[in-house]
Amino acid sequence: MDQHQAKREMRERLLAARRAMPAAERTAAGSALRDAVLALPGITMGGTVCAYHSIGTEPPTHKLVAALWKHGVYVLLPVVLADGSLDWAAYEGPDSLTPADHGLLEPMGQRYGAEAVHRAAAVICPALAVDHGGVRLGRGAGYYDRALARVGPNTLTLAAVYDDEFVDTVPAEPHDQPVGAVVTPGGGVRRLAPQ
């Protein structure tokens, strides 16, 4: 089986497990992810943090996004562009979001372009799984592979996943961009060594 097919099967399995997760567990995960990221040294010291506004069964980030913003962090959220890249726009509170394609909510604030991730202190990415070497499995569109290729040398890249989604091995393809850390509800933030 090739890596592409292995990814597809892994996505199906993980998405089914997410659908089966009790709502209360998901809600608790959102609080734990918020607390774990806020505990990162320096995270509220005035830098920019790129994050995502979760939908459906994704690890919940609404509490995290709101808390970062309330602590004065400059929070950017992705805006999906037709060319397959992500633009980044400022989150300015819950009222600054508007419905977009695929059930997403997008920020209406000023847009800073795809290169905005380069100067971010941290980029918090969605993922379905992450392995010990930082290989992440996304939803299969490559948006975050393209975005992570643009981060700067001092940007901390983090994938947010549920506890069971931090795994030994994720199938990797040459274009996959590893992340530098994982954040899980039960384990907090852990740095990952590229393999």
Ligand X SMILES: Nc1ncnc2c1ncn2[C@@H]1O[C@H](COP(=O)(O)OP(=O)(O)OP(=O)(O)O)[C@@H](O)[C@H]1O
Positions in the binding site for ligand X (CB under 6 A):
7, 137-146, 149, 173, 175-176
8 is an interface residue for Mg ion by CB under 5 A: no
Mapping DSSP to helix (H, G, I), strand (E, B) and coil, where does residue 140 land? Answer: coil
d(CA 105, CA 98): 5
Closest CA to 161 of 67, 60, 76: 60
CB 31 → ligand X: shortest distance, Å?
24
Longest dimension (CA), the chain: 47
Residue 109 or 138 having the CB closest to ligand X = 138
| Residue 7 binds: one of Mg ion, ligand X, none (C-beta under 5 to 8 A by kind) | ligand X
Q: Is 165 in the site for Mg ion (CB under 5 A)?
A: no
Binding-site partner at residue 163 among ligand X, Mg ion, none, CB < 5 to 8 Å by type = none
What is the pattern of x (binds Mg ion, CB under 5 A) and - over residues 20-49?
A: ------------------------------
Asked if 145 is part of the footprint of Mg ion (rule: CB under 5 A), the reply reads: yes
Indicate which of Mg ion, ligand X, none lies near residue 149 (CB less than 5 to 8 Å, by partner kind).
Answer: ligand X
SS (H, E, C) 28-94: HHHHHHHHHHHCCCCCCCCCEEECCCCCCCCCCCHHHHHHHHHCCCEEEEEEECCCCCEEEEECCCH
